[in-house]
Chains A and B, each alone.
Chain A
Amino acid sequence: MISSLRSAVARTRAFANKRLGDADLDQELASHLDLATEENMRRGLSPQEARRQALVRFGGVQQSREQQRAARGLPMLDVLMQDLRYTLRTLRRDRAFTIVAILILALGIGTNIAVFSVVNTLMLRPLPFQDPSRLLWIGPEIFDGNWSAATYSTDAWQQFLERNKSFEDVAGYFAFSSPDNAKLTGHGDPKPFTDIDVTQNFFQVLGVKPYLGRLFNPSEALHGGPNVVLLSYPFWQRECHADPAIVGNTLEFNGHAATVIGVLPKSFDFGAVFAPGTRVDIFTAIAPEDIRMEGNTITLLGRFKPGVTVAQARAEAALLFPRILFRRDIPNSTWYTAPYPTPLKEYVSGKLHRSLVVLWSAVGLVLLIVCVNLSNLLLARAAARSKEFALRGALGASRRRIVRQLLTESLLLSGVGAALGLGLAYGITMWLQHQTSLALPLLNDVHIDGTALLWTLVIAVGTAVLFGLAPGIRMSSENLQESLKDSGGHGASDSRRHDRLRSTLVISEVALACVLLVGAGLLMRSFLRILNVNLGFRPTYAATIKVDFDDGGSDAKRTAIFQDVITRISALPGVQSAGIADNLPFARNRSWGIPHLLGVDDSKVKGESSLVYMITPGYFAAMGIPVTGRDFSWEDKPLVRDAKRNVVQGDPVIIINESTARHLFPNGDAVGHVIDASGKARIVGTIPDVHLTSVEGQPDSQVYYPQVQQDTEGAYLVIRSKVPPEQLASSVLHTLHEINPAQAAVPLRPVQEFVDHAVSPRRFFVLLVGTFAALGLFLAALGIYGVISYSVTRQTLEIGIRMALGATAARVQFGVIFRTMRLALIGIAVGAVLSLILASLISAMLFNTAPTDPATFGGMVALLIVVALLAGYIPARRASRVNPLVALRGN
């Protein structure tokens, strides 16, 4: 045991000091021969004879040197080094092949690592919080983008905190903050930033430690408590120039001084986890008392106690919630959607699993095609090298040694490919990290970690074995004598077997590419269908800007400001219409109870809700939404309410969408009716259904109120123009500045941006899958070209003879193309059948597209045929230009 260990150490040392050992041995052997010669001379032999005898007795000097070396060092490694040196030499000689192989491998492996990093971040790796497996999202079982149905009142939160036994602590954040809601003031032009109100224990529950300073404490969550703020790391970097002294100092937001108590760590990105594609700069503490009356406003998430299971937490929530009150002072108020606690990780990225699996499969298919392609290239090379290997075999190389040599070659190729691929993947992940507008969670955290490196190793070795083994076995089993006799690879008969293997490879390559193309085609078609969805509004030539205003809490004053803004903006050249809404489609939203007919018991419609919007006249026109009946007008007057907010004077009016109208008045016109929409109101108009929360889903009930008759927080001015919106940006901002000098310098954003943001995850996946399919197609074309072109080269003599015997160029060309098409068509047929089976697996990801969509299948098959034709045409043309005289002489 010890002696073998010592031997291993000694061998390793000897391996490292090869030259030293060799010199020592040479000296020793020389002295041996000298001693022997001397002795022989003493016996009376002549010097020459003495030396000859000594050499005879010694045996082969070189042999004994080799033996001693093998016993001394690490023969396996020696062989490996030899193989590597040899491989490097041959690869350098075959430069074109090497470059193509490495590039293909780099693409295949690189995309795989990149996709793996995304999958790893979104699916495999835990969330970047402390002990994240104990974090639960306490929201409804199905979240459809309606935030009012996914949030709870502070009263409900506090009751849940008091009564539950499963959770260590429950925190939440205010879900209705709008972007750019905090203006950094006090230094020149006000700069817009996004502030999120969180419960004071929010960061403690997540287990986020401050980078500088401290987190909130309970006293800061009291009504009238100190005005304090936590900064995000990027905000601190940019706005405070990373000055650590900022902690304890004040910043002025919206004109109020707030003390900076700490800076959050770089690793914490609120948007990446809770609101993908948005940026949050600062955090303030919620004073529950302040928003108690505002209804369902905060999301909940909790950390359950060790030993508690998700099922237990669910059971407890189901038990507790019917008894938790929306408002403590209102009996039986259960105006919320009972929560169904879900692991936070699942809430954040669970919906993406299917897409990720598809993406992963697509990129895996690409890698498979890469392998097949390389196998093919290597086989072609193998044929050209069969003599070389036959010669090595004749000189004594064992079959195993030759296979090992070939595997070394493929490992070296895949190793270099993987190294390049890592670089490519690094670039892709860096790019992804900065896709801030992409509504995918955790993108900021996508990077190549140890697991990804391990994965790289696995696929590098896996691909090498996969593409290197077939040619290796094929080559080592080749008949030695035949290969040596073969005059130079012109014979057609001996390569039949060879050709069959290569044809099979090309067919499988085409089949795989076909599967990829059909999958990508189906997803692409779904995406096009989604882009063509009638949103209910026309985003083109509409732009929006957040308007700052100070109405001092008066509906009348606010209305006057809005009217002024709209009148002056409408007067700008190029502007067609303008209007204001408190919220926009695909952005922040809220909902109230669904409207019902007067006299109907509202318990019947309990739980159903409508999205509500507070708007000014002109908003519908600006959004391109047609109104049946009438739009709101500046003549609609403010309401007078009593202390309980019941309307005592005034004419409340509303506009509802078609779904709601049909639901309430199945047989007639809704306009003119008075219904109960969170208070009596007269319907003055209806609009078509507008997509507000998702492009893919069906719009639900929507109710629009004139802002003059409701409390309104936040204002988005929507402008429809004849000119591209960016031309208006400066004049619009200038006008708003004139009206309100405190207006923040926020950008005028095209409404299309909101739509783009909503479909960005799908766009992202379609783009990637499409790219991979294109890659697959390209590789398949390369494979077809390689095989056909190679067989044309081999058959130059045959073609020459046929042409000499009278075959026309067209006939030869047709023959080659016919063979190409036969390969391609078999591949396509196999691929189409496979696609039919596999397409049903992604049917859940398709939108208005059948998994058997004939147009997609037809289109993709046609595309493959065209590409195959092109790939076959080039060698076919070459074949038809064979000069019989040259070809025949060439042998």
Chain B
Amino acid sequence: MSDPKLDLLQGTLDLMVLKTLAAMGAQHGYGIARRIEQISGDTILLNQGTIYASLVRLQNRNWISAEWGTSDNNRKAKYYAITRSGRKQLARDAEDWRRLADVMGRVLAQSPEGAK
């Protein structure tokens, strides 16, 4: 933990949540948060609490659905699952993100002289 943690870019959390749900299937808030932390190798500064604003945003847009259920060790928890329109949105956003990352990569890869 010597490196300073990364701040989340605006809007990226929503995409991460969508992708996580698409990959893992139905999951509760804590599970989603943990999974994102694990995937990022703990490099992202994520207050787990912020995930709930993201969840309600996605829910309002009908990209994910929510249902109260019981966890493996018999705890009541709210389970989220990605919807069909959520998957479409994920495909679109992922594509956008990949393109942006690509462009950013190329821009940052320029040589210092700025030669032709």
Contacts and interface: CB of A to CB of B under 8 A. Distances in A.
A7 B55 CA distance: 13
Interface of B: 28-31, 33-34, 47-50, 52-57, 59-63, 71, 73, 75-78, 85, 89
B49 A58 contact: yes
A3 interface: yes
**Which of A29, A38, A58, A61 has the most B CB atoms < 10 Å from its CB?**
A58
Given A27-B76, A61-B49, 12 more contacts: A7-B57, A7-B61, A28-B52, A29-B52, A32-B77, A39-B34, A59-B48, A64-B47, A67-B50, A67-B53, A70-B53, A71-B60
A10 interface: yes
A35 B52 contact: no
9 contacts: A3-B89, A7-B61, A31-B76, A31-B78, A32-B28, A35-B30, A57-B47, A64-B53, A67-B49
A6 interface: yes
Nearest to B63: A3
Contacts of B54: 71
Nearest to A10: B60
A59 B55 CA distance: 16
**Which of A4, A38, A71 has the most B CB atoms < 10 Å from its CB?**
A71
Contact of B48 (A14, A36, A38): A36
A64 B75 contact: no
A59 B53 contact: no
What class of interface size applies to chain A in its complex with B? 20 to 34
A388 B55 CA distance: 37
A32 B60 contact: no
A28 to B, nearest CB: 5
A677 B75 CA distance: 116
A813 B53 CA distance: 64
Interface in A1-19: 3-4, 6-7, 10-11, 14
A60 interface: yes
Determine the main DSSP class of B at the interface with A: helix
Interface in A46-90: 57-61, 63-65, 67-68, 70-72
A494 interface: no
Contacts of A14: 56, 60
A711 B76 CA distance: 107
A60 B59 CA distance: 22
Contacts of B31: 35
B48 A57 contact: yes
Contact of B52 (A7, A57, A64): A64
Contacts of B85: 3
Contact of A71 (B34, B56, B62, B77): B56
B71 A25 contact: no
The 9 A-B residue pairs with the shortest CB-CB distance, nearest first, are A59-B47, A64-B49, A67-B53, A10-B60, A71-B53, A35-B30, A7-B60, A59-B49, A68-B52
Contacts of A38: 73, 75
Contacts, number: 88
A10 B50 CA distance: 20
Interface string A623-641: 0000000000000000000
A65 B50 CA distance: 9
A11 B60 contact: yes
Contacts of A32: 28-30, 33, 48, 77
A28 B32 CA distance: 13
B56 A72 contact: yes
A58 B60 contact: no
A34 interface: yes
Contacts of A28: 29, 52, 77-78
**Which of A28, A39, A64 has the most B CB atoms < 10 Å from its CB?**
A28
A63 B52 CA distance: 11
Contacts of B89: 3
Nearest to B89: A3
Interface in A481-498: none
A63 B49 contact: yes
B49 A31 contact: no
A3 B47 contact: no
A51 to B, nearest CB: 14
Nearest to B76: A31
B110 to A, nearest CB: 37
Contacts of A63: 47, 49
A64 B50 contact: yes
Given A6-B61, A25-B52, A68-B52, A58 B47 contact: yes
A58 B48 contact: yes
A498 to B, nearest CB: 42
A365 B41 CA distance: 71
A273 B60 CA distance: 60
Contacts of B49: 29, 58-61, 63-65, 67
Contacts of A35: 28, 30-31, 71, 75, 77
A291 B57 CA distance: 85
Given A31-B28, A31-B77, A38-B73, A6 B50 contact: no
A11 B52 CA distance: 15
B47 A60 contact: yes
Contacts of B29: 28, 32
A292 B57 CA distance: 86
Contacts of B52: 25, 28-29, 64, 67-68
Contacts of B59: 10
A57 B31 CA distance: 13
A70 B57 CA distance: 10
Contacts of A59: 47-50
Contacts of A57: 47-48
A31 B76 CA distance: 7
B52 to A, nearest CB: 4
A6 B63 CA distance: 11
Interface in A364-410: none
A251 B25 CA distance: 91
Given A28-B29, A31-B77, A32-B30, A6 B53 contact: no
Given A36-B48, A67-B50, A3 B76 contact: no
Nearest to B54: A71
Nearest to B73: A38
Contact of B60 (A27, A36, A72): A72
**Which of B49, B52, B85 has the most A CB atoms < 10 Å from its CB?**
B49
Contacts of A11: 60
A11 B54 CA distance: 14
A38 B76 CA distance: 13
A696 B53 CA distance: 77
Contacts of A31: 28, 30, 75-78
B111 to A, nearest CB: 41
Interface string A217-250: 0000000000000000000000000000000000
Contacts of B77: 28, 31-32, 35
Contacts of B60: 6-7, 10-11, 14, 71-72
Contact of B57 (A25, A65, A71): A71
Contacts of A71: 53-54, 56-57, 60
Contact of A6 (B62, B71, B76): B62
**Which of A3, A11, A32 has the most B CB atoms < 10 Å from its CB?**
A32
A10 B76 CA distance: 24
A65 to B, nearest CB: 8
B32 to A, nearest CB: 10
A57 B78 CA distance: 19
A57 B73 CA distance: 21
A25 to B, nearest CB: 7
A68 B59 CA distance: 12
A72 B54 CA distance: 9
A59 B48 CA distance: 6
Contacts of A64: 47, 49-50, 52-53
A3 B34 CA distance: 28
A75 B53 CA distance: 13
Contacts of A58: 47-49
Given A10-B60, A36-B30, A68 B78 contact: no
B62 to A, nearest CB: 5
